[in-house]
Amino acid sequence: MMSFARLIYLLPLLMLCIGCSGVKVALSDSNKRIEYAEKGKSNYLKSESGKVYAFRNSMVTTADHFIGTPYKYASTDPSKGFDCSGLVYTVAKKNNLELPRSSSSMASGVPHMDWKKSTTGDLVFFGERGRINHVGLVDKNKGDELFIIHSTNQQGVIRENVLASAYWKKRILFAVDITTYQKLKVKS
């Protein structure tokens, strides 16, 4: 028969061994969850909706690279600067999408939607008295915040919550789903 003192020494050792096997299982389960998540993401990005998601985000990522670029009227040259439609035109071109060159032409011949329904990558148009004079690319739309990337004549290319600006808020006209242009294969 085992002595009581000996049992007290073996009990922690036994618990340690049992506990370590549980850690191995937990680590293995965690690695499998990561592996399954990566496979799921890879499969999603190959799907049609995944390609749309990736395209929309690529538009914003491309526009992000131009933040800080100065304003230059009628320019699509990043080394010189951009006007609003020049920025959108260049971002789209870098994402293999041909758009018309002017903001009014970009808005012509495509379905318009309420800006409140816009999402990442969509275009938002601005103007006065029904005349379009500005365009920006939606970064994120939270309903009470509408962040766009656009080129302004005062600040150049910036990210801005246009709903927090009295100037821009009253000039928002509508939005256009960026994927509409892909479907139509719009050429300039």
**What integer pLDDT is reported at residue 185 of this predicted model?**
62
Q: What residue spans define the domains of the chain?
A: 17-46, 58-184
22 vs 176: CA distance, rounded Å: 54
84 vs 135: CA distance, rounded Å: 6
Instruction: Kindly report the number of other CB atoms within 10 A of residue 40's CB atom.
Output: 10
**What integer pLDDT is reported at residue 43 of this predicted model?**
78
**What integer pLDDT is reported at residue 160 of this predicted model?**
98
93 vs 80: CA distance, rounded Å: 17
**Residue 159: helix, strand or coil by DSSP?**
strand
Give the helix ranges, DSSP H, for 65-184. Answer: 84-94, 103-107, 166-169, 178-184
**What integer pLDDT is reported at residue 34 of this predicted model?**
72
Question: Per-residue confidence of the chain (188 residues) as pLDDT tens digits?
Answer: 556 666 666 666 666 666 555 545 555 676 767 776 677 767 777 888 999 999 999 999 999 999 999 999 999 999 999 999 999 999 999 999 999 999 999 999 999 999 999 999 999 999 999 899 999 999 999 999 999 999 999 999 999 999 999 999 999 999 999 999 988 764 44
Backbone angles phi, psi at 43, to 5 degrees: -65, -40
**What integer pLDDT is reported at residue 130 of this predicted model?**
83
**What integer pLDDT is reported at residue 153 of this predicted model?**
96
Flag whether the pTM goes above 0.75: yes
Write down the CATH number for the domain with range 58-184.
3.90.1720.10
**What integer pLDDT is reported at residue 136 of this predicted model?**
98
Beta strands in the chain (DSSP E): 76-77, 81-82, 123-128, 131-141, 146-152, 156-161, 172-176
**What integer pLDDT is reported at residue 141 of this predicted model?**
98
